[in-house]
Structure 1
Amino acid sequence: MSEVREAAYQLSSKNFKFICEYVYNAAGIVLGEAKREMVYRRLTRVIRERKLADFDAYCDLLRSQPEQEKTYFINAITTNLTSFYREQHHFDYLTEHEFPKLLDERRDTKRIRLWSSASSTGEEPYSLAITTHQSFSHVLNRWDVKILATDIDSNVLATADQGVYTTNRIEGLTQSIQQRYFKKGTGANASKVKVTDDIRSLVTFKQLNLLHEWPMSGPFDVIFCRNVIIYFDKATQQDLFARYYDMLAPGGLLMLGHSENLGEYQRYFENVGRTIFRKPV
């Protein structure tokens, strides 16, 4: 089957180079030779959906209509692997250390702001919302607690905003969390669950390209930027870390993915846990 596909859709070095340049200019994402097969698979589907002849025709479309095609292209090329409570140690740290600290320190302002900056289909911000609810439920009716969830991909944001998942997506969660924070579907939706309204109300989903202007004002007490930095080059990473630093409240936390690090920007943060970094007060 792969030989048939390759005969029908050849991804030339010239076209691959153009696609890499296009995605870098559009989203700052760096694609190398190791991503060539992934690019081939994902864009072959786009070529079929667009009823185009080949990669030459698709690249011509990107050249002639770069702005019109950009969102569709980015949605197709970006990776959205996620799960509830992925990298559990981050949520454990919030429960055991950070949220008790914030409960004490914010008794006057009663304001908490959290940001999931690459939220994908919503599992991360909803995990954050559940963790927040478990720690702040006794004060939520009196405190101003909000979670911002952003992503560049409009398709995954639409899924996230609905808060509906197949039951297998929550199988790894404890029974108490499943029963308290998810509603089981009935009838035709018996194989699905929906995040409860009290959790969904904590989260606001917005589309955002991290390389463009950030319209929110902050400051944030916790920022999740997990498993997205690896797609940017070093210069872009350092620029983003500087912007995250500015957006964090003094003493705020920045969470990175398991394979990510701050590089040279490490000197501006205190490492307080595995891929957990605190902005000095």
Structure 2
Amino acid sequence: MHQPQQHSPDMSEADFQVIADIAHQEAGLVFTPEKASLVRSRINRRLRKLGIKRFSDYIAYITSPKGEGERKSMIYSLTTNISSFFRESHHFDLFANKVFPQLLSNARNGGRVRIWSAGCSSGQEPYSIAMTMHSIAPDITKLDIKVLATDIDADVLEVAKTGFYHSSEIENIIENYRTEYFSPSTSGTQNGYLIDNRIRSLITFRELNLLHDWPMNGLFDAIFCRNVVIYFDEATQLRLWPRFEKATAPKGWLFVGHSERLSEKLDTSFQNVGPTTYRLPN
């Protein structure tokens, strides 16, 4: 006897618009009607988890005072958390060969060095930065060099903090990094690899919505904000880049994603110094 087929709840155009408006207001995310099926499939998971049968009931919940926490979970479900170690490797080549040696010299002379991975997802980017620095300066933990890694998604940050990755996630890392910085480990019933404490100790993970206040003190010598603003509309991007400029130290660096550019409409001091790479003058 066949089981009755379970149908996903229907999302009306009005439901979609409410979700799209909240995602835009609270996180700068842009969802056009063409993305309705993507939104529906991701929000369906939230309905199943909460035991809600109809989209209209879900909309009533997230727009009520009780739904504030769920609005955050909804936004987490709509963000795209795709990351990999040493993604867009030309940035790490430049960082290793030119950017970090200058910063290291400053640190050895008693200066402080701060790197920001904005939109760090499950941690591969900040860990790649930290491995690059440690491979050049094994005594880095004695110097005032730190990486701040932020993301809007508190759940994905918990994954990043563990430093645990499956073998498929580290297979493209060069062998000497794999053997130096990863050790076989088990998380629950899953086998994988744990990143070394020498690397983890360089990084602080924090939840941060880029559209809200940035509570950090001091300026950053290099900012990696890659494949993040691509999800924002132009108006939001135009507001964000000047904020990144204010957070960047003189002669500091900004790395953006492969399909991102600083708009020509912007009045910032960032100068394009290479593929998707910008720098402030002194």
TM-score (norm 2): 0.92
Question: For the residues of structure 2 that align with 1:171 and 1:218, how far apart are their CA atoms?
Answer: 36
**Residues 98 and 188 (structure 1 numbering): CA distance in 2 closer, same or farther, change over 3 Å?**
same
Deviation at 1:202, TM superposition (A): 0.3
* Post-superposition offset of 1:71: 1.9
Letter in 2 for 1:161: K
Query: Residue in 2 aligned with 1:37?
Result: 37
Q: Which has the higher helix share?
A: 1
Look up the equivalent residue of 2:17 and give its one-letter code.
K
- Which residue of structure 1 lines up, in the alignment, with residue 50 of structure 2? 50
Determine if the alignment matches structure 1 residue 227 to structure 2 residue 227.
yes
Distance 1:5-1:44 versus aligned 2 partners, 3 A rule: farther
Structure 2, unmatched stretches of 5+, are: none
What is the CA–CA distance in structure 2 between the aligned matches of 1:26 and 1:146, rounded to whole Å?
Answer: 29
> 1:255, 1:277 within 8 Å by CA — same for their partners in 2?
yes
Task: Return the alpha-carbon distance in structure 2 between the equivalents of residues 129 and 48 of structure 1.
Answer: 39
TM-aligned CA deviation for residue 8 of structure 1: 3.6
Letter matched to residue 102 of structure 1: L
Structure 2 Cα separation of the partners of residues 8 and 254 of structure 1: 43
8 Å CA contact 1:8–1:54 kept in 2: the answer is no
* Residue of structure 1 in register with 2:86 after alignment: 85
CA offsets per residue over residues 165-202 of structure 1, 9 Å max, x none?
A: 11110001111110001111269767310000000000
How far is the alpha carbon of 1:269 from its aligned partner?
1.2
Q: What is the aligned length?
A: 277
Percent sequence identity over aligned pairs:
40
The alignment status of 1:213 with 2:197, answered yes or no, reads: no
Query: Compared with structure 1, are the counterparts of its residues 52 and 187 closer, same or farther at alpha carbon in structure 2 (3 Å cutoff)?
Result: closer
Normalised TM-score (structure 1): 0.93
Deviations 1:194-243 (A, max 9, x none): 00000000000000011111111121011011111011121211111111
2:121 corresponds to 1:123:
no
**Structure 1 equivalent of residue 110 of structure 2:** 109
Q: Secondary structure at the match of 1:172?
A: coil
Contact 2:241 2:262 in 1 (8 A): yes
Work out the CA distance in 2 between the residues paired with 1:207 and 1:59.
25
Segments of 5+ residues of structure 1 without an aligned counterpart are: none
Q: Contact 2:186–2:193 (CA<8 Å) still a contact in 1?
A: no
Contact 1:217 1:247 in 2 (8 A): no
The aligned counterpart of 1:97 is: 98
CA RMSD of aligned residues (A): 2.0
Answer yes or no: is the 8 Å Cα contact 2:107–2:143 preserved in 1. no
2:73 corresponds to which residue? 72
